[in-house]
Amino acid sequence: MNREHLRGLFSAKSARVNTNKGEEYYNSLYERCKARLEELKKLKPVNNVNIMEVLEDEGINRRDFLKWASAMTATLMLPASFTPLVAEAAEVMNRVPVIWIELQDCAGNSEALLRSDGPKVDEIILDIISLEFHETLMAAAGHQAEEQLEDAMHHFKGKYLLFVEGAIPLANGGVYGTIGASGETFEEHLHRVAKDAAAVVAVGTCATFGGVPAAAPNPTGAVGVMDIVKGKPIVNIPACPANPANMVGVILHYVLTGQIPELDSLLRPKFAFGYRIHDNCERRAHFDAGEFVEEWGDEGAKNNFCLYKVGCKGPMTFNNCSIIRYNEAVNWPIGAGHGCIGCSEPDFWDKYAYERPMADANIKAPTGGVEKTVDEFGLGLLTAAAVGIGIHAAFSAVAGKKEECEIEEGDR
Amino acid sequence: MRVELIEKIEGEAKLEYKFKENKIDFVKIVFPHYRGIEEILRNRPVWDALAINPRVCGICGHAHLFATVRAIENLYQNAGIDVNITEKAKLIREITLFCEHIQNHLKWIYLVIVPIMKSIAKINIDQNSFLEIQKAIVNINRVLAIFSGQWPHSSYMVPGGVVCDPTNLDIMQARNFLKNALYIVEKRVFENMAFEEITVSELEKSRTDSGKIFRFLKENSLLSIGKANDRYLIFGEHSFTKRVKIIKTVSYPVKIKYVKEKSQKSGFAKNVTYKNNYYETGPLARMMLLKPNLIKQLHRVYKDGISTRIFARVLEILFLLKKVEAHLNSIELSQKSYNHIKTEIKEGFGESAVEAARGSLIHKIWIEKNRIKKYEIITPTQWNLSNGTLQNPATAQKAMIGLKNSKLAELVFRTFDVCSVCTTH
């Protein structure tokens, strides 16, 4: 395998996101968005909050707000000319009601959302968007909360975005997750609330692919939202926790265009999951140069070398966290010296969540490509390793279905 | 019987009340969820627990990671393998753990306690307070993320140390974020930041939200409701805690081997006892060990009523902010972050305890043929919210018995800072 071939694999069409769809496309999209925002402005806001007033109260000026809008425009992979539209969309976000339900999970996505980033996006979330129902955030609780959910579903029939956090346990008739006094199962609950939603957004790896509860032997029969809800637009925002920037991005996109964003074959928004972590990793240059952390705390670790040999799954993981990062963009796992565990990929809990070098994990790419150990074969094989990774990644992008990873007998 | 549903506890709980002569005679606590994490861990390679366990909880994932790391380290130690953790790694592990406590406690006051108080009577704490506190929480999580990469759910602690290698610049940034948080907490939560010196009379006069909460409890005659068994447990060993049980105000040493978990007929949560007795764990237990002025004074008058329990948690915020500051100042960057451990053992047992925000978290691991044979997790809410009998009620049950209505019972229930997802792992 030569470098040319390698480059070919990494830049294969399937591994790419089309960030420039041509002037004609963007002009027509611009007009559509403008019309949509005009329509939204005519609607009565669900709550009477003026974003600019709230921001000013908090000491945030227009300039800072536009900076955020510009960053968000880039996140959504739109040309810079869309920035004023994104800002306008944020201002009319309170015309789109959001219902958030929590099923079988650890509440990590709600927690991440509570601390979402951007200038005052916390305010946007708490005040501006019309979060009509959220068990953890809202004031009502118990029976009162149930009534509130009914009201929101009725009042905003066919208009609300339903955010679902958590998996759906199906084993033993759904006994492992029930809700409310009636003992409604999570499956019934999801069916009921999703019925009149405009679109369903599955947040976090539990809601998208079943998550840790679905890890072998999947004692509760956990599945994701797309296995239950049919005949509705579904957006998957996997990762554990999902990045709040991507949640806000989906809402903004919906407000802006009236549609869900362009999705890949795993129903993930392309703006967020269009490329691998590895493609934009700050340590990528070290991978290319063959410089690896051999053991945590060694000289390589001190010099921020590539973490592939201590178990990083970045080359197999599609997500934008190498760009967006976490917690106000302060850091991300790789920044703190720990490899990616591939938490936004289907079955990560059984395939990738190995806390040791990949070489010891008996994970094989569909082509059988991931090497045994880099050391055993020397730098020549490093290229082969990368090729294996490239094939694997390209495969997952093309096929877009659950990747068949062989796990050796007795490994589980 | 009257059944109430309780949300905003990261999941759901059901409280089944029995009333007698217009007073609560007994309460059964039921958690209707289950994920099966202990079953999922079975037969996996030992280190896989490091990726699975933080996902037990979205709020105290760090504590679960820490407990997992310590359980595996204990496993190696029991097999005669040297486990040498540098002072630097110990400090960093504690900084992130304490930050997790701080953000949890702040959120608990403003998202859980204040709203339930508002539903009982008027209290002058508005949404702006929360929005400002939100900034403090964001800053605390930034401190966390500098070392751990992200919050929630990180994997930066590993047996042998931590994987991060902070620079001077990182420490400076962390200090700066912490300073921002301190400033807000001082303004909103407590004016006097001298943890040891705060007194009840100072609290009562305070213009901050703590003062408002105290006056709310006083004006509504709620200062002494919610008394439990006045028995406390601490298992996690950190720079300010040790393994003790405290009965009234006297401490005695304890051992994990006397902790017993037992399944219940209703719900998936298990009961937990120490030598067949129910104990309270969490900030009140920790403050009963440290004995700051405020807690001594409150306990003398109101015993383990809700005022003592609430202000133990509030006070712990101040204590931990100062502790994080001191830790940041003591890190020797030249020390190693990680010391390699020889990890080849086939069979063995390890156990650990860590103080999570809500109390003592215990992990136990058994391995066979280099795989996890069995993994046991005992969480703080299990301690506080076990179900005893009418004659021998468990902690939260005891605290709710005798109250006049379920609204007050819910307030008492929430003072334990319940976590459903941990409890039903």
Distance from CA of A113 to the nearest CA of B (A): 11
Cα B24 to Cα A28, A267, B4, B338, B384: the distances in Å are: 66, 50, 13, 53, 18
Distance from CA of B299 to the nearest CA of A (A): 31
Q: What values do phi and psi take at B381, rounded to 5?
A: -65, -30
Cα A123 to Cα A22, A99, A131, B131: the distances in Å are: 35, 17, 12, 7
Please name the residues in contact with B300: beta carbons below 8 A apart, sequence gap of 6 or more. Answer: none
Instruction: Specify the pLDDT at position A46.
Output: 65
Give residues 235 to 274 of B whose Cβ lies within 8 Å of A.
Answer: 268
Instruction: Specify the pLDDT at position A368.
Output: 36
For residue B47, list chain A residues with Cβ-Cβ distance below 8 A.
Answer: 354-356
The yes-or-no verdict on residue A400 having pLDDT over 90 is no
Instruction: Specify the pLDDT at position A125.
Output: 44
For residue B119, list chain A residues with Cβ-Cβ distance below 8 A.
Answer: 139
Residue from the list B12, B43, B119 with its beta carbon closest to the beta carbon of A412: B43
Report d(CA A86, CA A73) in Å as an integer: 7
> B33, B85, B425: which to substitute to probe chain A, counting the most A Cβ within 10 Å?
B33
For residue B137, list chain A residues with Cβ-Cβ distance below 8 A.
Answer: 114-115
| Among A165-174, A229-238, A247-256, B35-44, the least confident range | A247-256
How long a stretch of residues is chain A? Answer: 412
Burial bucket for residue A364 (CB in 10 Å: 0-12, 13-18, 19+): middle
Distance from CA of A207 to the nearest CA of B (A): 14
In total, the C-beta contacts within 8 angstroms joining chain A to chain B are 224
A123 touching chain B per CB within 8 A: yes
CB contact under 8 A, A331 and B150: yes
Q: Return the structure tokens found at A310.
A: 């201590």
Q: Which amino acid is at B38?
A: E
Please name the residues in contact with A144: beta carbons below 8 A apart, sequence gap of 6 or more. Answer: none
A338 touching chain B per CB within 8 A: yes
CB contact under 8 A, B152 and A179: no
Using one digit for the tens of pLDDT, what is the confidence trace for A3-44? 565 556 555 555 567 778 889 999 999 999 999 999 888 887
Instruction: Specify the pLDDT at position A396.
Output: 36
Instruction: Specify the pLDDT at position B25.
Output: 96
Asked if A374 and A382 touch (Cβ cutoff 8 Å), the reply is yes
B343 touching chain A per CB within 8 A: no
pLDDT (average), residues A246-260: 88
Report d(CA A93, CA A87) in Å as an integer: 10
Residue from the list B8, B58, B119 with its beta carbon closest to the beta carbon of A108: B58
Q: pLDDT tier at A276 (50, 70, 90 boundaries)?
A: confident
CA torsion A128→A42→A100→A113, rounded to 10°? -30
For residue A135, list chain B residues with Cβ-Cβ distance below 8 A.
Answer: 7-8, 12
Distance from CA of A291 to the nearest CA of B (A): 17
Report d(CA A261, CA A249) in Å as an integer: 9
Q: pLDDT tier at A245 (50, 70, 90 boundaries)?
A: confident
For residue A332, list chain B residues with Cβ-Cβ distance below 8 A.
Answer: 149-150
Tokens 């009502």, located at residue: A140
Instruction: Enter the ipTM.
Output: 0.93
CB contact under 8 A, A333 and B149: yes
Residue of A nearest to B114 (CA): A139
Which phi-psi region, left, alpha or beta, contains residue A378 (left: φ > 0; alpha: ψ -120 to 50)? Answer: left
Using one digit for the tens of pLDDT, what is the confidence trace for A135-151? 655 656 667 778 888 88
Asked if A324 and A366 touch (Cβ cutoff 8 Å), the reply is no
Report d(CA A179, CA B118) in Å as an integer: 25
Using one digit for the tens of pLDDT, what is the confidence trace for B283-298? 999 999 999 999 999 9
Percent with pLDDT over 70 in chain B: 100
Instruction: Specify the pLDDT at position A284.
Output: 92
Radius of gyration, CA atoms only, chain A: 22
> Helix (H, G, I), strand (E, B), or coil: what is residue B147?
helix
The yes-or-no verdict on residue A297 having pLDDT over 60 is yes
Asked if the bond preceding B159 is cis, omega within 30° of 0, the reply is no
Residue from the list A104, A135, A139 with its beta carbon closest to the beta carbon of B35: A104
A384 touching chain B per CB within 8 A: no
Instruction: Specify the pLDDT at position A291.
Output: 93
Distance from CA of A171 to the nearest CA of B (A): 11
pTM: 0.89
Instruction: Specify the pLDDT at position A114.
Output: 67
Asked if B357 and B101 touch (Cβ cutoff 8 Å), the reply is yes
The yes-or-no verdict on residue A59 having pLDDT over 90 is no
Report d(CA A121, CA A114) in Å as an integer: 9
For residue B10, list chain A residues with Cβ-Cβ distance below 8 A.
Answer: 106-107, 110, 136
The yes-or-no verdict on residue B226 having pLDDT over 50 is yes
Report d(CA A325, CA A232) in Å as an integer: 30
The yes-or-no verdict on residue A382 having pLDDT over 80 is no
Q: Which amino acid is at A206?
A: C
pLDDT (average), residues A67-84: 88
Mean of the per-residue pLDDT values for chain A? 78
Instruction: Specify the pLDDT at position B288.
Output: 98
CB contact under 8 A, A356 and B45: yes
A187 touching chain B per CB within 8 A: no
Using one digit for the tens of pLDDT, what is the confidence trace for B119-130? 999 999 977 788
B44 touching chain A per CB within 8 A: yes
B59 touching chain A per CB within 8 A: yes
pLDDT (average), residues B138-146: 94
Asked if A355 and B48 touch (Cβ cutoff 8 Å), the reply is yes
pLDDT (average), residues A215-219: 95
Instruction: Specify the pLDDT at position B293.
Output: 96
B411 touching chain A per CB within 8 A: no
Q: Which amino acid is at B99?
A: C
